[in-house]
Chains A and B, each alone.
Chain A
Amino acid sequence: MSAASAPDRKGRSGALAGLVAGLSLVLVPASVWAADAVSPVAPAPTPPAAARAVVVPLPEPAEPAEPAAPAPPARIRLPALGVDAPVAPVGVDDRGRMDVPLDIATVGWYRFGPGPGATAGSAVLSGHVDDREQGYGAFHRLADLAPGDPVTVDLADGGAVAYRVETVTRFRKADLPVTDVFARTGQPRLTLVTCGGPFDYTARGYTENVVVVARPDAP
């Protein structure tokens, strides 16, 4: 017999089609997801040379008679991302890393460093990306900020400090320039930090940090 009967051929091609469809259901989404998980690194929105440095080291300012520290930050607003989140002071964890509030809707301020509105140095705010149990964090879309976007930090005393985004940079976690991020000298700036890049299920964490540096808005 040279060929299968008509019903047989039809059954086989139907089954073949099902096989292909089934496999594509399995493989295509997985590959899309995998690509999504690893692709976004591109450190590339190559900022102009002047803006490239995350932190510009500047000569230490002449020490004035200890200006009063500004009131602690209370909220951060990122209108470009629709974010308006509470800010809580944080210190370090038991491994010497900056603490980040467990509540991913709350942003942490490194209370041992300068505060927003300080006359020098980097005020550091950090927020979580997301969490399986809590959903999306306040800084989930931080990497979507673009130079020029406004950032406002409300202070506990009712004041506010306005900034504009200058740079958005990604670093492998091991390469985070912590002495720049947490600098206490140099021009005043706001540094927003969250995580990014692929999620490492073994280390149970993201492999990168997203760092946004904003400068005080010209008055």
Chain B
Amino acid sequence: MRLNHLARRTGFAVGGALALALVTAPAAVAQDTAAVYVVHGVPDTPVDVYVDGQRAIDDFQPGTEQGPVDLPAGSHKVDLFPADAADGSGTPVLSANADLPAGGSFTLVAHLDASGNPKITPFENDVSSVPAGQARLVVRHTAAAPAVDVLAGGKPVVQGLSNGDQKALEVPAGSVSAAVAAAGTTDPVIGPADVDLQEGTATFVHAIGKLDGGKLELVSFTVSDLHGSPSGVPSGAPSGAPAEGAPAWLLVSTVAGLAVVAVSASRLRSATRR
């Protein structure tokens, strides 16, 4: 049920109900709004999402994400109701107040805390420019599980990430074999899986679910067009010396000239002395 709201920054398609709710906001310029993504990481609990009392997402399934939508900057009340609730008038499953500064990018993650209780955690998304040739990988621990390490190619690149934490890495663009293991171990509890990290993108990966019963999974989304420019173009001489630097004819001429000078000077001296 992805509909037609195209977000400028990423081209992500967004749930229609959410788009509708946001259209009611004045056609604000980017400076007056914040970009918001939502991730559903509470297992077995489809929900309806209400923003400021209006239904924004109908039947939001666990293990999925939606966004971005531009919300007016400021404080918003977000309520999650069971997906079969008639409206937003009862007692929500979860509630949160999101205070969104203008121009920011945020993810609201509904997830389990370390001991398995549902909660909503807001994360700020680092969507700043990525250095040329690189990709940003942001990992978030939002699962009912102890601290974890994130492995790339079997080696830990993030260590001791706890529930509610995030960590950003900038890595050379390309495919990386990623896995999640209990902190201090290299035995994957998720993955390994090949992740294609395109140049100039930021990929936000959320570990969700719970370790007990092996119900851990990943939900991710990618923000594109964050390219940085190369810092220069070193198109000179790869060996460090130019073909024309101090050319051969100059050296020959110099040596010959010095020889003539030396001979002439000695002749001059002997002629004068005579």
Contacts and interface: CB of A to CB of B under 8 A. Distances in A.
Interface stretch (B72-80, B157-165, B251-259): B251-259
Nearest to A133: B239
Given A8-B271, A23-B257, A201-B245, A128 B265 contact: no
B271 A127 contact: no
B173 interface: yes
B242 A19 contact: no
B241 to A, nearest CB: 4
Interface stretch (A44-52, A72-80, A148-156, A172-180): A172-180
A14 B270 CA distance: 12
Interface in B124-160: 131-133
B250 A98 contact: no
In the A-B complex, the 10 residue pairs with the closest CB atoms = A25-B257, A22-B260, A18-B264, A92-B133, A26-B257, A22-B261, A130-B243, A15-B268, A15-B267, A204-B240
Contacts of A27: 257
A129 B11 CA distance: 41
Interface in B222-274: 225, 227-247, 249-250, 253-254, 256-265, 267-268, 270-272, 274
B271 A18 contact: no
Interface of B: 6, 8, 11, 131-133, 173, 199-200, 225, 227-247, 249-250, 253-254, 256-265, 267-268, 270-272, 274
B274 A19 contact: no
Nearest to B245: A199
Contacts of B241: 131-132, 199, 201, 204
Given A100-B233, A126-B233, A204-B241, A19 B257 contact: no
Nearest to B247: A33
A96 B236 contact: no
Mostly, the A contact residues are: mixed
A15 B267 CA distance: 6
Nearest to B259: A22
A128 B264 CA distance: 44
18 contacts: A11-B271, A12-B271, A12-B272, A15-B267, A18-B260, A21-B264, A26-B253, A63-B8, A91-B173, A128-B235, A128-B237, A129-B237, A132-B242, A134-B243, A178-B230, A182-B132, A204-B241, A205-B237
Contacts of A136: 243
Given A19-B268, A25-B260, A26-B257, 17 more contacts: A12-B268, A18-B264, A22-B260, A30-B254, A33-B246, A33-B247, A98-B233, A112-B133, A128-B237, A130-B243, A131-B237, A132-B239, A182-B229, A184-B225, A199-B241, A206-B237, A209-B235
Contact of A15 (B11, B132, B246, B264): B264
